Amino acid sequence: MINVIELFAGVGGFRLGLEATNGFNVVWGNQWEPSKKTQHAFECYARNFENKGIHSNEDISTVDTKIFTNHNIDMIVGGFPCQDYSVARSLSGEKGIQGKKGVLFWEIIRLAQSTNPKYILLENVDRLLKSPSKQRGRDFSIMLASLRDLNYTVEWRVINAADYGQAQRRRRVFIFATKNETAFVLNRQQVPDEEMLRTEGFFAKAFPVINELHEKKKPNSFIMKRDIVDISDNFSMNYYNAGIMRDSVVYTEEVTPIQETPISLKDILEHDVSEQYYLKESSIEKFKYLKGPKKIERTSATGHNYTFSEGGMSFPEPLDKPGRTMLTSEGTVNRSTHVVEDPTTNRLRTLTPVECERLNGFPDNWTQGMPERMRYFCMGNALVVGLIERMAQRIINIESENIQGIQQELFLSND
C-alpha cells in the first residue's frame, strides 16, 4: 500500500479516486476552511471516511511535521488554492527565500521537506500556468524550481475531463513530481522530452495524446534558473498544456488529447425531481438575460467609457453533451448555472445536488447532511474523481517498477 497525506482535502475527491484502486492508504487528511464557523466540508470528509486514518481540521501552517515520523509517507496529494507565489530574500539575506504568509503551496513544500515522499500529485486551475498576468508563468516557475530543489522530476498536464470520458468539461492542471532516485526516473533518463510527454511519461500513459507536434505552437525548452528570488523578480515564460522538468531543464509542448466519448448530461439526470428545482417564469426571464449576448456601455473608475460585451450561451443546456465547468455559484440565478429541460416534464430546472455530484463522479448523496447551498459550493470546488482514479492506477504501476528496481539493486549487491 502507498501511504498518503491528503492536503486541502475538501470533501475527499482525491481520496475517492485513490482508494478506488485499492492501492493507497490515506493515513492523514487535512481540511480546514478559515473564517468558517461550521466546517461543512471537513464534516462531510470525516463522515464518509469514518475510522479510516486521521482527519485533521486545523490550519495546516500550525501542524507539527513530527506527527508523520513513523508513518513512512510515500505521497502527498492536494488541490491547493491559486495564489500569489512571489518570494523575497529574508531581511538578513542569508536564509534564502521566504514566501508570502498564508500561501499554501509553501506548506506543501514544508511537508515534503520533512516527509520526503517519493511522489507528489497536485491539482489547480489551469490559469496557474499563466499567472500573474503581468509576468506570465512566474508563479508556476517558482513552483517548479522549488520542487527541483527538493530533488524531484516534474511533469504537468492540463486535462479537460470531458476529453477522457467524464461528464464535465472541466479543465485543470495536474502536477506530478517523482524523486530523481526512483527507477521510474532513472529508467527514462535517455527518453527524449517529447516522447515523455506523448508516449512514455506519467500522463501520456493514462491520458493518451496524438503523437505529433502541434501545428501552430512550437515547443519550448529552457534552463530553469537556480535563484528563486531572481525567478520571482524577473522570470517570464509561456507554458503550454504539457511539460516536464528534469534537473533544471524544462520542456513544454502543446499536446492534443485522443478524445474519448464523454458522459452526456442526459446520462446523469435524476428522475422524479422535486418541484423546488423547477424555474418560475420570473427566473426563466432572468436566466434568458444572463445567458444571452450583451453589449453594455460602462464607465471605468478613471472616467474612461467602454463597451462590455459577452457572447450568448446555450439555454437550456444541450443534453447530448457533457456539462460545462461547474462553479461554486451553481444552483443560483447566475450566468454559469446549468439549466436543463427535464426530459420527463419538458420544464426548465436547475441541476440537483446529486446531479452535481455525478458531474464530478462522486457517489450519490456524498454531500448529504450539509445545507443545500454548501452542497453546490463544495461540488463547484471539487475535482473529477475519475481522473484521479486513472492517475492512481498509473502511480501503482510506477510503484511496482520502483520496487522491482530496488529488488534488482539488492540482488546485484548480494551477488
- Provide the annotated active-site residues: 82
Residue 154 burial (C-beta neighbours within 10 Å; 0-12, 13-18, 19+): buried
CA distance 358 to 345: 21
DSSP 218-274: --EEEEPPS-HHHHHHH------SEEEEETTEEEEE---B--BPPPPGGGT--SS--
CA distance 221 to 210: 20
Residue 384 burial (C-beta neighbours within 10 Å; 0-12, 13-18, 19+): buried
In the block, cell 516522447 appears at 195
CA distance 228 to 309: 40
Antiparallel, parallel or unpaired: β 171-179 and 97-99: unpaired
Antiparallel, parallel or unpaired: β 249-253 and 242-246: antiparallel
Residues belonging to the chain: 415
For residue 303, the tally of other CB atoms under 10 A from its CB is: 6
Angle, alpha carbons 212-216-219 (nearest 5°): 60
CA torsion, points 144, 119, 121, 65, in degrees to nearest 10? -90
Of 79, 29, 124, 13, the residue nearest 389 (C-alpha): 13
